[in-house]
Structure 1
Amino acid sequence: MKQEKSERKSERKSTPIRALFQLLALLSTCSALYFLYQAQLLPIRLFGFLAIGVLLILALLITLSKRYVFVVILLILDTIINLALSFVFYKYNDYFSQFGTHANYHEKYSLVTLADSELAKTGSGEIIYLGLLESDPYLKTVEQYLQNDQSTRTGLLAHTLSASDLVHYENLLTLTTSLINKASVNSGNLKTMLIGESYLESLKENNQEIFAKLHVLQDIELAVTPKTVEVTKNDSLDSPFTVYISGIDNRDHTLPFAARSDVNLIMVFNPKKHKILILNTPRDFYVPLAMNGKLDKLTHAGLYGVNESIHTLENFYGIKFNYYVRINFDATSSVIDQLGGVDVTIPYVVNTYHGRRHYEPGTYHLNGDQALDFARERVSISWAGGDRERGRNQEKILSAMLHKLQTSPNDLNRIDQIFTSIAKNIQTNFTSDDLKYLVQRQLTTLASWQTELIDVDGKADITSTFTYPEPKHFVWHPYQDSVDRAKAKLQEYLQN
């Protein structure tokens, strides 16, 4: 009798504890199922069957736990596993949520004058006439800023200008030439210009003679309304779709709407045939700009906005882009620093333009900035292929990064920081749901994809471009037969 009372008393004490474990198991299971649903790793029907099966098994375990102690232990293990799965699925969702348009709400501009002018020497004076670029994608915003409430402006730009004080120029050469020659404007002379950061950086790299004569009086950040990137969105990711991948040269962790595109890849995905085509178009390809039909280097199209790069390539190859991905080179530098540097073998002498670094043949341990300077170099290796050799060096950097990740497990502990660095330097119209669906489709089909890499070729030349009529620039005149082959291959992959 006493033993029975003792057992009943013990059972009453254990009941609340058992109920707690049952509740924790139920809540953790629901949590894991919720985050799995959000992750969209499984088709909805398969997820439904899985959820019903898991909940039925849990109900059975809860029922049996009233009689058997070992089942309570199973519930505890179930809770631990579910909490771990909830965390994994949560991080998976968080990673994809970081990708997006990352639209810039500010653009950087510089007020520039001649280095030997009184304005440059004193830093004070009145601006009467101001040169602007007609091709600036934010021209109207700039004009409104200069003519509206002067309380929003500081320094030399505090003085309100009228529409007649703003002088428009077709390209950088005519603008800078007018500034240097102090061109007559109405009753005065042009003494200043206001240009975007991308144009100023491009001028620095492409025309040192003119750049050396200039002086920046004032830098401003102009609030802008983000431009819409113009692509033709695909109806379904189950049918062939195109992606434009643009690598821009900008080192301040931003993705401005107007920036030179030094990497221009066209990818065509054919989900039915499980094939991917990657077409590389050299940055120096001499192509007609979409906005005016005038010939220029492909990389310069980006100075007039990403839409100009997109439409120029669409017109050139006779296709439409469904998606775009813009990548800032700065992402590479950040990731390499977080990996503690990478080892790269350099087979020849390299003198980098950026960073002014010198390398003899050998193997080097490079940090982020050093690796990026090496990956961007093309002038001192022009004898080895210039643009093409630079592409090979970029592949070396990527291979070194992957090797470091594979051989240094400790670096996986920094996966959060690495992923964040990558995500904030990527701009795309792929939604998180789009990306999750692509992963889901691959997991459910386990298909093996075939990738084909092609490029287009041309004849080297030194000639004028629309953006820089002078000095003449290195370009590739496209070989029409290579372009025609690329067009045919694009159409082949776009067929279901």
Structure 2
Amino acid sequence: MSRSRRTRVDSNPVLKIVNWILWGLSLLLSAYLVYSLFRYGILAVYNLNVILSLVALVVLGILGWVLLRFPARVWVTIILVLSLLVAGVGAIGVQQLVGLSSRLNHQANYTEYDLTVYVPKDSDLQDLSQVEKILAPMETDKDNLAKLQEDLTTNKQVNPQFESSSSYVDAYKQLKEGQAQAIVINSIFADTIESEFPNFGEGLRPLHTYQVRRKLETGRQDPKAQSFTIYVSGIDTYGPITSVSRSDVNILMTVNRESQKILLTTTPRDAYVPIADGGNNQPDKLTHAGIYGVDASIHTLENLYETPINYYVRLNFTSFLKLIDLVGGVDVENDQAFTSLHGQYDFPVGTVHLDSEKALAFVRERYGLQGGDNDRGKNQEKVITAVLRKLMSTDALKNYPQIIQGLQDSIQTDMSLETMMALINSQLESAGQYQISSQALEGTGSMDKPSYAMPGSQLYVMEVNPESLAATKANIQSILEGQ
């Protein structure tokens, strides 16, 4: 090419402007990436965040020098477009991760449930103004029912008389027997009623529903702390993850990053312990703490084990376990052969490979296990651990967008992104060598203990063994202290 031809090419004003705009956009996206890497601790392992930042700066510097020498060349435009695409993909990935964390944390600040006024399906009552008396447990759920009464008076301009029942189950029994005109059912108690009266809702007709949105009060900790405890609550219910529900899985994950040890402590759902907050510190099944909110479960376990719980993770098992298919399944070690009621799957002793359906059967089964609910808790620990390991590995990158969506639908947590990344980075640095141990609180079964949430019902509970409780507390403390 002649000198005059090169001069004309390099003096193309439109191409010059386009190239400088492309370089400027690459600079902005790279700056966002570098900021995010250090702000949230992303890839802060083996100094990868530092290396990537230096690479970005060097590449941008070289591109800037090339642009000064050849400001209006097409081949420079192509290189700049490729650079912009790389920076854009990285920025989108980081933004998805930051957005996911923000949504999970936003959901963690509140919980939702409904209070509904019902009449029998064949009742002549068609409107709240026709209802004179409403039956509800005014003592055990007085705060929520007071909100409903205020809503009826203020927004519906009706003021029916409220009469007290011993429980929501008792209220439904009286309505069913024709001894009540209308009742209130708190949605978080619906499954307790259904445990005695399957499909009870088919005989009811709603007149009014009041939604309660309650702020959660949970603890936080410095994301750089070397030791902390996470409460893992597992529910298996329909509806949004923010819905209040009994907690079928109650695991404390005590982590010490310095000693690279994790202790999983399972507390059986039937453990008979004082229930905090809405349970008024009255003894009841641990699973009933969940109906007062995840914070009630946290405070109950804090009181039981005399240790602070810094974060919580709430899983909806049905949707969470679907993530297993996105990471190619998980392997767990099975201690005893059994056939599951759910799906009729046979699980032999040894290593078993689980897809999402088999995993759901594996974590639900308790009747076919020698230790019943205690052994089910151990199986739940195994599956949760296996899934978390896969999600923190490179296998998760293959279906990154789908996993991000799946996590959003199945998890609620108050852990910050910085804390999650610190945990993932330390796990990666250890090359998966974290020493994970587990323990379970033990006790004796009983059928003669009263239930605060379900008075008058004969329920199976596990009376806690004092020696087991003392040993469990000591083991948690040992991990926290790095022993």
Query: What TM-score bracket applies, with the shorter chain setting the length?
Result: 0.7 to 0.9
Indicate the SS of the match to 2:215. coil
Paired position in structure 2 for 1:255: 242
Q: Which residue of 2 aligns with 1:145?
A: 151
Using the alignment, how far apart are the partners of 1:452 and 1:23 within structure 2? 55
Alignment partner, residue 487 of structure 1: 473
Q: Partner amino acid for 1:421? A: G
Residue 254 of structure 2 corresponds to: 268
Q: Aligned partners of 1:124 and 1:341: how far apart in 2?
A: 53
CA distance in 2, matches of 1:166, 1:110: 14
Equivalences for residues 283-362 of structure 1 within 5 A: 283-290=269-276, 291-332=279-320, 335=323, 348-352=338-342, 359=344, 361=346
For residues 408-487 of structure 1, the aligned pairs below 5 Å read 414-439=399-424, 448-466=433-451, 467-487=453-473
2:113 corresponds to 1:107: yes
SS of alignment partner, residue 37 of structure 1: helix
User: In structure 2, how many angstroms separate the alpha carbons of the residues matched to 1:221 and 1:147?
Assistant: 14
Question: Secondary structure of 1:226's partner?
Answer: strand
Distance 1:108 1:12, change over 3 A: same
Q: In 1, distance between residues paired with 2:330 and 2:229?
A: 33
Identity rate, percent: 27
- For structure 1, the residue ranges without an aligned partner over 5 or more in a row are 114-118, 152-159, 183-188
TM-score by length of 2: 0.77
Q: Which amino acid aligns with 1:132?
A: A
- Following TM superposition, by how much is the alpha carbon of 1:457 offset from its aligned partner in structure 2, in angstroms? 1.2
Q: Paired residue for 2:92, among 51, 70, 87?
A: 87
**Aligned equivalents of 2:362, 2:427: Cα separation in 1:** 35
Change (3 A) 1:253 1:445: same
Alignment CA distance shift 1:222-1:8 (3 Å): same
What's the TM-score once normalised by structure 1's chain length? 0.75
Following superposition, the deviation at residue 327 of structure 1 comes to 1.6
> Residue 121 in 1 paired to residue 133 in 2?
no
1:278 alignment partner, one of 242, 246, 264: 264
Structure-2 separation of matches of 1:300 and 1:292: 12
Contact preservation (8 Å) 1:31, 1:86: yes
Larger Rg: 1
RMSD of equivalent CA atoms = 4.4
Alignment equivalent of 2:60, drawn from 58, 80, 93: 58
Q: Which residue of 1 aligns with 2:11?
A: 12
- 8 Å Cα contact 2:111-2:216 kept in structure 1: no
Question: Where does residue 116 of structure 1 map in the other structure?
Answer: none
1:368-395 CA distances to partner (integer Å, 9 max, x unpaired)?
67864664343x42x5332134346546
Contact kept? 1:274, 1:447, Cα under 8 Å: no
* CA–CA distance in structure 1, aligned partners of residues 222 and 248 of structure 2: 30
The one-letter code sitting in structure 2 at the alignment partner of 1:193 is I
Alignment map for 1:102-251 (pairs within 5 Å): 102=107, 106-112=112-118, 119-124=120-125, 126-133=130-137, 134-136=139-141, 138-150=144-156, 160-162=158-160, 165-172=161-168, 174-176=170-172, 179=175, 190-205=180-195, 207-208=196-197, 215-218=203-206, 220-229=208-217, 231-251=218-238
| Deviation of the 1:429 alpha carbon | 1.6
Q: C-alpha displacement at 1:487, in angstroms?
A: 0.7
CA distance in 2, matches of 1:48, 1:338: 30
Q: 1:474 to 1:362 in 2, by over 3 A?
A: same
Equivalent position SS for 2:7: helix
Query: How far 1:192 moved relative to its partner?
Result: 2.6
Give the aligned residue type for 2:289.
Answer: A
Cα shift readout 1:289-323 (whole Å, capped 9, x = no counterpart): 23434321111122233232222211111112221
SS of alignment partner, residue 307 of structure 2: coil
The alpha-carbon distance between structure 1 residues 456 and 417, as it changes in their structure 2 partners (threshold 3 A), is: same
Q: 1:238 to 1:332 in 2, by over 3 A?
A: closer
Secondary structure in structure 1 of the residue aligned to 2:101: helix
1:90 Cα shift? 2.9
Take 1:342 and 1:328, find their aligned partners in 2: how far apart are those partners? 18
Kindly state the Cα deviation for residue 415 of structure 1 after the two structures are TM-superposed.
Answer: 3.7
Q: Per-residue displacement from partner, 1:393-433 (whole Å, max 9, x unpaired)?
A: 54686699799999xx9x97654233223223322222334
The letter of the residue matching 2:35 is: Y
Distance in 1 (alpha carbons) for counterparts of 2:247 and 2:412:
13
1:144-191 CA distance string (max 9 Å, x none): 12332317xxxxxxxx224xx112344345545555666xxxxxx633
- C-alpha spacing 1:33/1:46, structure 2 compared with 1 (3 Å): farther
Aligned residues: 458
Question: Distance between the aligned counterparts of 1:55 and 1:405, measured in 2?
Answer: 30
